[in-house]
Amino acid sequence: KKKFQEKSDCSNIQMVFLQGVTNLIEEKKFEEALECFADNISKISYAQRSIYEEEIVILAEVVSTYCDDAYFLQVLQLYPQHPKLLFLYACILLRVGKLPFARRVTEKSLSVYPTDLRLLDLQERIRFKSVDRWHFRMLNDKVRNQCYYNAISRKISGGCKTVLDIGCGTGVLSQVQILFWP
């Protein structure tokens, strides 16, 4: 609030809007804050964008946890190359399940900010989310795992000293083998 008051030379309308959103967030009225933010963000003049950039980015960060990608595009249009806003937009896209778009925004951002750790971390999360998790079903298949358990148990108790674990990379067969190792 203090920063808003210090910038009293700017339009009173924008100051009231930013204070209003801040007050709604402080009161934990997030839906109303989001609505107020979305309704008024495009009304900020080009000259005032640089004056209020820090505050708008902070508000956008709070609002981003509640909004979808369409709302956030309005904010991004104010500062299309802002690294934090690009990061937040990619996070929203990831959250709403738009992986290809999240990947593109992240790659675009990394081309401008190649050392931004948040973007690099997000790129990894997007990669991991893009990989099918089929092996989780396999690892939780009790019948299948019991069959492997029984087969390995018979082989080791029969004198076999080597178990070759060729699976999905989890090491579950090796873990079963250790249970029976003399």
pLDDT at 10: 46
Bigger pLDDT: 5 vs 76: 76
pLDDT of residue 122 exceeding 90, the answer is yes
DSSP code for 169: S
Asked whether the beta carbons of 2 and 37 are under 8 A apart, the reply is: no
Helix (H, G, I), strand (E, B) or coil at 143: helix
Tokens of 68: 């979808």
Delineate the domains of the chain, giving CATH numbers in brackets: 2-130 (1.25.40.10), 134-180 (no CATH)
pLDDT at 105: 94
Q: How confident is the model at residue 110 (pLDDT cuts 50, 70, 90)?
A: very high
Distance CA 1, CA 60 (A): 16
Written in H, E and C, the secondary structure of 74-127 is HHHHHCCCCHHHHHHHHHHHHHCCCHHHHHHHHHHHHHHCCCCHHHHHHHHHHH
Distance, C-alpha 5 to centroid of its chain? 33
CA angle 68–74–80, rounded 5-degree value: 110
Q: How confident is the model at residue 119 (pLDDT cuts 50, 70, 90)?
A: very high
Average pLDDT, rounded, for the chain = 79
pLDDT at 115: 93
Tokens of 155: 């082989």
pLDDT at 51: 74
pLDDT of residue 94 exceeding 90, the answer is yes
Bigger pLDDT: 10 vs 144: 144
Percent over 70 (pLDDT), the chain: 86
pLDDT at 4: 43
Q: Which helix (H) or strand (E) holds 141?
A: none
pLDDT of residue 59 exceeding 80, the answer is no
Residue of 64, 59, 63 lying closest to 3 (CA atoms): 59
Tokens of 160: 């076999």
pLDDT at 121: 95
pLDDT of residue 34 exceeding 60, the answer is yes
